[in-house]
């Protein structure tokens, strides 16, 4: 008896009769609803597929990411939004079984090209992680690390200046200026996350990727990070993965909805949350599953 539903599931391409939601998992990739292009794009992704061994984690995603704009990626757990994010700075390279196909270009240059060095790419595409992960070094060393390895500062005063401006722009300077030698890991969760943001912007990237940056933080710390994203948007392209639809609505101008490895719908944040065009998007944002 128990095998019947799974047999059925396999034959009908993954759709389960329960719940009333048709999870379309046919072999051909889904055609994204909405306008995937953007004016003034910094990252252009075309036919991006990601495989983890046999698992097809991202299926044929096309998406532009624009300068000076926040794009949020939403979707149920395991839909591939984090995986997609990690393609943008080639962090998936560190997973031996991961394979990425298609093209992603940064300012017209393919980042998966053989000549593209991942180290250089990651200096241009910074990343903030879900769990605050400051280095077990002092606050100063955390921020100075990027400029130091990339040789951005000529001397100590220049480095001091970079550290100070980065911490100021991350809204952390006032809180840590008297304890730059204190360990970064001794700060509170929200401060640690802002330290990670300061560390990222210290190397002046073009794009900042944020993978659920507030999921481990309390509402007050979250609000501070969201304000910070608003400010950073003036200088950077920001991609933020989030589980909180309110957060997506608050911080982003564009929203992309992922579902089981497919990019279902892209549009302006207003349109996605007020007038979703795809049934799956509507079901997700109205809370019918997620």
Partner 1 sequence: MNDPALNPAAAENRAQRTRRLVEQSLRRRYRAERRFRAYGIMAVALGLCFVGFLFSSIISTGWTVFQQSYLRLDVSYAADVIDPDGSGDLETIGNADYSGLIKAAMRKQFPDVEGRGNLRDLYRLASDGGQFDLRERVLRDPDLVGKSETLWVLADDRVDLYMKGRIDRELGEDVRGLTDQELGWIDRLVADDRLEKRFNRSFFSNGDSREPEQAGVWGAVVGTFLTLALTLLLSFPIGVAAAVYLEEFAAKNRATDFIEVNINNLAAVPSIVFGLLGLAVFIQLFGLPRSAPLVGGLVLTLMTLPTIIIASRAALKGVPPSIREAALGMGASEVQTVMHHVLPLAMPGMLTGAIIGMARALGESAPLLMIGMVAFIVDIPHGFTDPATVLPVQVYLWADSPERAFLERTSGAILVLLGFLLIMNATAVILRQKFERRW
Is 160 exposed, middle or buried, given 0-12, 13-18 or 19+ CB atoms closer than 10 A?
A: middle
The answer to whether 145 contacts partner 1 (rule: CB under 8 A) is yes
Q: How far is the CB of 51 from partner 1 (least distance, A)?
A: 17
User: Among residues 32 and 89, whose Cβ is nearest to partner 1?
Assistant: 89
Could you say which of 149, 161, 179, 246 contacts partner 1 (CB under 8 A)? 149
Which residues, including other chains, have CB under 8 Å from residue 208's CB and lie 6 or more apart?
Answer: 125, 126, 127, 128, 197, 200, 201, 232, 236, 237, 238, 239
Q: How far is the CB of 110 from partner 1 (least distance, A)?
A: 18
- The span from the first CA to the last CA of the chain, in angstroms, equals 28
Question: What phi and psi values does residue 183 have, to the nearest 5 degrees?
Answer: -65, 140
Could you say which of 137, 173, 206, 279 contacts partner 1 (CB under 8 A)? 137
Q: Distance of CA 177 to CAs 3, 97, 140, 173, 181, Å?
A: 62, 43, 9, 5, 9
Q: Which stretch binds partner 1 (CB under 8 A): 42-50, 142-150, 235-243, 265-273?
A: 142-150
Q: How far is the CB of 136 from partner 1 (least distance, A)?
A: 5
The answer to whether 126 contacts partner 1 (rule: CB under 8 A) is yes
Q: What is the DSSP letter of 23?
A: -
- Residue written as tokens 């997506």? 248
Residues numbered 69 to 98 that lie near partner 1 (CB under 8 A) are 89, 91, 94, 96
The answer to whether 199 contacts partner 1 (rule: CB under 8 A) is yes
Binding-site size for partner 1 (CB under 8 A) equals: 29
110: number of CA atoms within 13 Å, CB side? 11
Could you say which of 15, 133, 244, 268 contacts partner 1 (CB under 8 A)? 133
Compute the distance between CA of residue 248 and CA of residue 130 in angstroms, rounded to an integer: 15
Residues in touch with partner 1 (CB under 8 A) = 89, 91, 94, 96, 119-123, 126-127, 129, 131, 133-137, 145-146, 149-150, 183, 185-186, 196, 199-200, 203
């Amino acid at each position: 008896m128990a095998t019947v539903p799974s047999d059925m599931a396999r034959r009908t391409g993954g759709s389960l009769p329960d719940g009333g939601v048709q999870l379309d998992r046919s072999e051909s990739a889904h055609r994204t609803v909405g306008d995937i292009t953007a004016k003034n794009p910094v990252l252009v992704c075309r036919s991006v597929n990601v495989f983890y061994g046999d698992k097809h984690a991202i299926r044929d995603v096309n998406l532009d990411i624009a300068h000076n704009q926040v794009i949020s990626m939403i979707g149920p757990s395991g839909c591939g939004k984090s995986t997609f994010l990690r393609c943008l700075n080639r962090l998936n390279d560190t997973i031996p079984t991961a394979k990425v196909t298609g093209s992603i270009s940064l300012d017209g240059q393919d980042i998966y090209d053989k000549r593209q060095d991942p180290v250089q790419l990651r200096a241009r595409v910074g990343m903030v992680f879900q769990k605050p992960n400051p280095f077990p070094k002092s606050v100063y060393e955390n921020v100075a690390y990027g400029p130091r390895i990339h040789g951005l500062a000529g001397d100590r005063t220049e480095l001091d200046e970079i550290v100070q401006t980065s911490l100021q722009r991350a809204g952390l300077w006032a809180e840590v200026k008297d304890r730059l030698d204190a360990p970064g890991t001794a700060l509170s969760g929200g401060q640690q996350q802002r330290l990670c943001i300061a560390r990222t912007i210290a190397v002046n990237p073009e794009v900042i990727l944020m993978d659920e940056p507030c999921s481990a933080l309390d509402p007050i710390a979250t609000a501070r990070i969201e304000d910070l994203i608003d400010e950073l948007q003036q200088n950077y392209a920001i991609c933020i993965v989030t589980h909180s639809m309110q957060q997506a609505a608050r911080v982003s101008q564009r929203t992309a909805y992922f579902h089981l490895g497919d990019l279902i719908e892209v549009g302006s944040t207003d349109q996605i949350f007020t007038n979703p065009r795809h049934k799956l998007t509507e079901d997700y944002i109205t809370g019918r599953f997620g």
